[in-house]
Amino acid sequence: MADNPVFDVLIAGGGLAGQCLARQLKLARPGLSVAVVDWEKRPLPEAAFKVGEATSELGAHYLAEKLQLKDYLDREHLVKNGLRFFFGDAQGPLENRPEYGPRDFPPITSFQLDRGRLENHLRDLNQAAGVTLLEGFGVAEISLGENGSPHTITIGERQGGKTLFLRATWVADCSGRQRLLQKKLSLGAPSPLKHSASWFRVKGEYNVENFVPAEKAAWHEKVPGGKRHRSTNHFVGHGYWVWIIPLSSGNTSIGIVTDERLHPISDINTYDKALAWLKIHEPVLARNLAGFSVMDFLFFQEFSYDTKRFYSADRWACVGEAAAFLDPFYSPGSDFIAMGNTMVTRLISRHFEKALTPAAVEQSNAVMLMLQRAFTEVFRDQYPTFGRTKVMTAKVIWDNASYWVFVCQAFFQDIYFDDDFLERYRRAFEKYYQLNRRVQQLFRDWTAQGRDVSGFDYLGYADFPVAVRSHLELGQKKSPRRFLEWIELNLDRFTAWGMVLFLIAAEDAAPEWGGPITAENLTVEMLDLKNLPAAVAARHAPNRGGRNPVAAEIGSLKRQMIKLFPDHHCLREH
């Protein structure tokens, strides 16, 4: 390498975010000179011990379609059978716990990843595409250039002590929790999420199917063919959840995630403590760990953090955990890598086309900050809800369908590369965000005020057409204009859904108020258990100009929600 080489793009960090960004940039603009600096040298351990093994639909679409890795992922990793949840009493047999999850593999694919295997493959692809891989080096300093001058990046060799000075037009920080630029520029922001985790891998297949005797045929037949094992399995209780993720290496990832205020990290920060904690809170899981050898163990206390900025017109960007980290529930990590990298690719492409404007940078920032804020609201103060079977099931169905409609679709439909449509999407998403804030607060208040009603046996994705429809529509290509019209229609549908959830919560939490409430005259502002008199008074308010525009959706959603809440009078047709 020549002294003081100049690259178009220097990527600090060669994990999943950095390698994916390098590939995306070379696919979009093959002529770009791109360098990736990373401490680790190939070959990485195939089953590397990293969080982020499970993908959801957006992250999987990014890897398979945008990065053109579908054949490789199908061949070398596991197709995921969606998200699966076990609620209720953890002290009894697993087959007695209420279960929500797919009976078969969903049509829109996601994956369980062995991260080391994937990152080795990405490095090989990037090297073949002409990316300069500086393996075994760490970034010591980033000096940002002013007035269009190149940035200067000082890197040091991990073994040998060699120091190199590189220059780059753009620099992308993909350094993970090292957060080079965020710390340098004081961009960090505290997160309201106070969650902690410990996790480990065991050697071999730790299969939930084996936790239930074969003679319990009725339980096994609900999800035939042993497909439960291929889900990201969640075991949830008051203030915590436990993940079980199968890996293509044949090993299994297991993690405990808690609200630090309810289950402190000091209870689970060694494997022996974690096992003792499982014996108390998830004894079936603990018993079935007997005989498994533990490969590794890590923990994080209060792992969440936010950022004030993702991108700058001064030609830098922060991606993945170098920008923010929210929560592993619903597996959004690869989603934020996908969305963040796509925004970076958009900005860098515009720069080299001499078409980048400060307004476009600020628009990208606004969209990413909006998404960060929206995902945070989904997790904020929600861990107590995990112990409430029906409330939590209703939340999972709402959260999943919301994600497919209001987050995934914009990415699937390539809205990110059109300034006008991206801005219109941002405005539509803001309407959804305000609705979702109300509904998420409803789940919190419902948890605090409601009765601990009995659970259910088994419910699948197909039991709720609103969720099935939201998922299947991911496979339908739409023009940007049609997509925005479709988003507006879904705003009506989800508004109706929020009203139905409010009726259920009101009847459960305050039956003395629930009877006289109807959805017809409700507004989004009335979806508040702390102000039930306003909702009751709305029944007697003057007609606001004809039939409620979401009345038909309300009727349909009542019929769907009665499967989860069969004893609620508010869901019965009058």
The per-residue pLDDT for range 145-186, each reduced to its tens digit, is 999 999 999 999 998 889 999 999 999 999 999 999 999 999
Average pLDDT over residues 97-101: 98
Per-residue pLDDT tens for 45-80?
Answer: 876 667 789 999 999 999 999 999 999 999 999 999
Q: Above 80 in pLDDT, residue 93?
A: yes
Per-residue pLDDT tens for 453-475?
Answer: 778 999 999 999 999 999 999 99
The pLDDT value given to residue 101: 98
The pLDDT value given to residue 50: 73
Inter-CA distances, 231 with 103, 208, 247, 305, 529, Å: 10, 10, 11, 28, 35
Per-residue pLDDT tens for 381-430?
Answer: 999 999 999 999 999 999 999 999 999 999 999 999 889 999 999 999 99
The pLDDT value given to residue 514: 60
The pLDDT value given to residue 146: 95
Q: Above 70 in pLDDT, residue 543?
A: no
The pLDDT value given to residue 287: 98
- Domain 86-109+194-300 is found in CATH 3.40.50: no
The pLDDT value given to residue 448: 95
Per-residue pLDDT tens for 217-235?
Answer: 999 999 999 999 999 999 9
CATH of domain 6-74+114-187+309-373: 3.50.50.60
The domain spans of the chain are 6-74+114-187+309-373, 86-109+194-300, 428-571
Give me the residues paired with residue 293 across strands. Answer: none
CA dist 343 and 221 (Å) reads 44
pLDDT above 70 coverage of the chain, percent: 96
CB contact at 8 A, 117 and 47:
yes
Average pLDDT over residues 20-45: 96
CA dist 454 and 96 (Å) reads 12
Per-residue pLDDT tens for 497-513?
Answer: 999 999 999 999 888 77
Per-residue pLDDT tens for 307-351?
Answer: 999 999 999 999 999 999 999 999 999 999 999 999 999 999 999
- Preceding omega of 43 cis (within 30 degrees of 0): yes
The pLDDT value given to residue 552: 81
For 223-250, the DSSP string reads: SGGGGGGGSEEEEEETTEEEEEEE-TTS
CB contact at 8 A, 27 and 187:
no
Q: 445 is written with which tokens?
A: 């208040």
